[in-house]
Structure 1
Amino acid sequence: MKIGILSDSHFKSDYTKEVIDLLKEQKCEYLVHAGDLCIEKNLQLLEESKLPYVSVFGNNDMSLFSLSNKYVIKQEPYYFKIKEHKFKLMHMPYHLSPDSDIVIFGHTHMFECEYKNKTLFINPGEVCAREKPHIECALLEINENEYIISHYFKDINKKNYEKEEYKYER
């Protein structure tokens, strides 16, 4: 199973579309957005992907509260399951407890992944290229005995994405 993970799109809907297209090219089956979508267009892009998706409100998403019945956007921390895997999704990294199989967060604009106490923690970095001149996202592949996390990143002035891969036995 492959899950595309993105966060911190802010007002960069062109970058958000680019990242969603990249994740779809990598055959992701689900999309997870860890907040700070900031504008309805980013929610529309998730919807238009035709993939099952979930997102949470970030600290810059107050203007999107009225859209919670139109799109799949939830209050944090939001717990959900995909198949037998339990997820916790949030924007602010305030609930980083190992009470799920996979904890996804955003806000820091920095890519992170760590597997500890049988919980995988992932921050996909930033889509918006605000803190550094990179567009970032992550692809989580869940196999029977391992997690494979691919961190995709691209300089805003370049054409192609680079990839770093992390593997954890589970």
Structure 2
Amino acid sequence: MKIGILSDSHTKSDYTELAINHLKQKGANYLIHAGDLCIEDNLKLLQNSKLVYVTVFGNNDRSLLSLSNEYNIQKEPYYFKIKDIKFKLMHLPYYLNADSDIVIFGHTHKFECSYNNGTLFINPGEICAREKPLIECALLEINKNEYIITYYYKDINTNNFMKEEFRYER
């Protein structure tokens, strides 16, 4: 199972579309967005990806509240399962405790991943290239005994994504 993870698109729907297409090309079966979509166009991109997706409201998503019935956008922290894996999804990193198998968050605009006491924590970085000139996202591959996180990043002035890989035994 492969899950594309994004966060902090802000108003950059062109960058969001680029990242979604890249993650789909790399085999993503699901998309998870950790909030701060800011505009409906970013929600439409998730919906039009034809993948199962979920997202949460970020601190800049007040204008999207009225759209919660049209899109799969939830209040944080949002708990859900994919197959037998428990996820917790949030934008603000206020609930970073090990009460799920995988905790996904955004807001800081910095990629990070760690595996502590049986819980995988992932922040995919930023789509919007606001803090640095990088479009960032992650692909989580879940195997029977291993998590593989591939961090993708692309300078806004180049054509190709670069990558770094992190592996953790489950």
Which TM-score applies when normalising by structure 1? 1.00
Structure 1 partner of 2:119: 119
The equivalent of 1:42 in structure 2 is: 42
Please list, as runs of the form range in 1=range in 2, the aligned pairs for 1:1-170 lying within 5 A after superposition: 1-170=1-170
Q: Which runs of 4+ in 1 moved over 6 A?
A: none
1:101 positional shift: 0.1
Query: How far did 1:131 drift?
Result: 0.1
Structure 2 counterpart of 1:22, which letter? H
RMSD: 0.2
Residue 121 of structure 1 and its aligned partner are, at CA, apart by 0.1
Secondary structure of 1:15's counterpart equals helix
Q: CA deviation at 1:104?
A: 0.1
Name the CA distance, whole Å, in 2 between partners of 1:169 and 1:51.
27
Shift of 1:160: 0.4
User: Structure 1 CA distance, aligned partners of 2:36 and 2:22?
Assistant: 20
State the identity %: 73
Residue 72 of structure 1: how far off its partner (Å): 0.2
Equivalent pairs, count? 170
Long gaps (5+) in structure 1: none
Structure 1 residue 7: deviation in Å?
Answer: 0.1
Taking the aligned partners of 1:154 and 1:71, their CA distance within structure 2 comes to 28
Matched residue SS, 1:113: strand
Q: Please give the alpha-carbon distance, in whole angstroms, between the structure 2 residues aligned to 1:117 and 1:8.
A: 27
- For 2:54, what is the secondary structure of its paired residue? strand
**Letter of the structure 1 residue corresponding to residue 72 of structure 2:** V
